[in-house]
């Protein structure tokens, strides 16, 4: 067993990572953590894939309604949100880079910037939602927008709110995860030997960005 001083590390230095009893080494433990995250991300992709298939089926059934409804979305807001998320993925990736070098203060800076951009994304999405609720572009039987009265248009907004709402939920979860990792970086816990938590948090955030990269053209451009 490692002594408590070995685990805590010297004053001001990152603590030495502990290896669980059922792992042969730290490398094996980190590999298992990454594999677990990849499997989790795969299930998340399958979740959104179901929505993509649903969109494709209904667009085939109601092509005119879906084309007209997509033109009702705010392309400017959608584009800004896309740029915001792409930039946030860059800062999340830089956090991993700095964690490998043991520069925990820069890890904190990068993740704080990522969280702020995530908050900005949600604010923009709030204004989009507020406008659609105001004019009646609501899902299912609640749709009462007078501008488009075509069969299937309410289904478009059902898929829109379901997919973007689910994505927004993942954004919130990602912010919580990154905030937790940020607190660990503030305690100077990461180094070249121990940065897996930063890497896994960044991987989850890249998933959030990747899903939006598919949602944006599907809902706003196609």
| More confident site: 221 or 12 | 221
Phi, psi of 51 (to 5 degrees): -70, -40
**Whole-number pLDDT of residue 149:** 86
Identify the residue whose tokens are 């800004």. Answer: 80
Question: pLDDT tens across 19-42, in order?
Answer: 555 655 657 766 777 888 999 999
Q: What percent of the chain stands above pLDDT 90?
A: 73
Question: pLDDT tens across 35-61, in order?
Answer: 889 999 999 999 999 999 999 999 999
Split at pLDDT 50, 70, 90, the class of 8 is very low
pLDDT at 5 over 80: no
Which pTM does this prediction carry? 0.86
Split at pLDDT 50, 70, 90, the class of 15 is low
**Whole-number pLDDT of residue 166:** 96
Q: Which of 118, 66, 76, 84 is nearest to 213 (CA)?
A: 84
pLDDT at 213 over 90: yes
**Whole-number pLDDT of residue 156:** 94
Exposure string (b/e) for 51-83, b if CB count within 10 Å is 16 or more? bbeebeebbeebeebbebbbebbeeeebeebbe
Report the run of H or E that residue 6 belongs to, with start and end: helix 4-8
* Contact residues for 71 (Cβ-Cβ < 8 A; gap 6+): none
Name the CATH superfamily housing domain 4-221. Answer: Cytochrome c oxidase, subunit III, four-helix bundle (1.20.120.80)
Question: pLDDT tens across 116-172, in order?
Answer: 999 999 999 999 999 999 999 998 888 888 888 888 899 999 999 999 999 999 999
Least confident of 30-44, 112-126, 175-189, 202-216: 30-44
| Cβ(218)–Cβ(52) below 8 Å | yes
Q: Which of 113, 104, 157 is nearest to 135 (CA)?
A: 157
Phi, psi of 136 (to 5 degrees): 95, 15
| Cβ(124)–Cβ(81) below 8 Å | yes
Please report, for the chain, the start and end positions of each structural domain, with discontinuous segments joined by +: 4-221
- The first and second tokens of residue 198, run together, are 């930063």
Question: pLDDT tens across 67-122, in order?
Answer: 999 999 999 999 999 999 999 999 999 999 999 999 999 999 999 999 999 999 99
Split at pLDDT 50, 70, 90, the class of 10 is very low
Report the run of H or E that residue 79 belongs to, with start and end: helix 75-100
């Amino acid at each position: 067993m490692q002594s408590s001083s070995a685990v805590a590390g010297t004053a001001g230095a990152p603590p030495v990572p502990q290896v669980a009893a059922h792992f042969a080494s730290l490398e094996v433990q980190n590999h298992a953590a990454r594999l677990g995250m990849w499997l989790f991300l795969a299930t998340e992709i399958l979740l959104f894939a179901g929505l993509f298939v649903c969109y494709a089926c209904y667009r085939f059934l109601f092509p005119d309604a879906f084309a007209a409804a997509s033109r009702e979305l705010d392309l400017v807001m959608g584009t800004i949100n896309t740029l915001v998320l792409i930039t946030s993925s860059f800062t999340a990736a830089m956090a991993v880079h700095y964690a490998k070098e043991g520069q925990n203060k820069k890890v904190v800076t990068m993740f704080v910037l990522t969280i702020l951009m995530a908050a900005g994304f949600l604010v923009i999405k709030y204004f989009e939602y507020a406008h659609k609720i105001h004019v009646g572009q609501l899902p299912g039987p609640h749709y009462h927008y007078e501008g488009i009265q075509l069969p299937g248009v309410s289904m478009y907004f059902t898929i829109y709110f379901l997919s973007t709402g689910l994505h927004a939920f993942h954004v919130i979860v990602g912010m919580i995860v990154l905030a937790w990792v940020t607190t660990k970086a503030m305690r100077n816990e990461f180094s070249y030997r121990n940065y897996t938590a930063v890497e896994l948090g960044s991987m989850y955030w890249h998933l959030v960005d990747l899903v939006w990269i598919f949602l944006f053209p599907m809902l706003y451009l196609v």
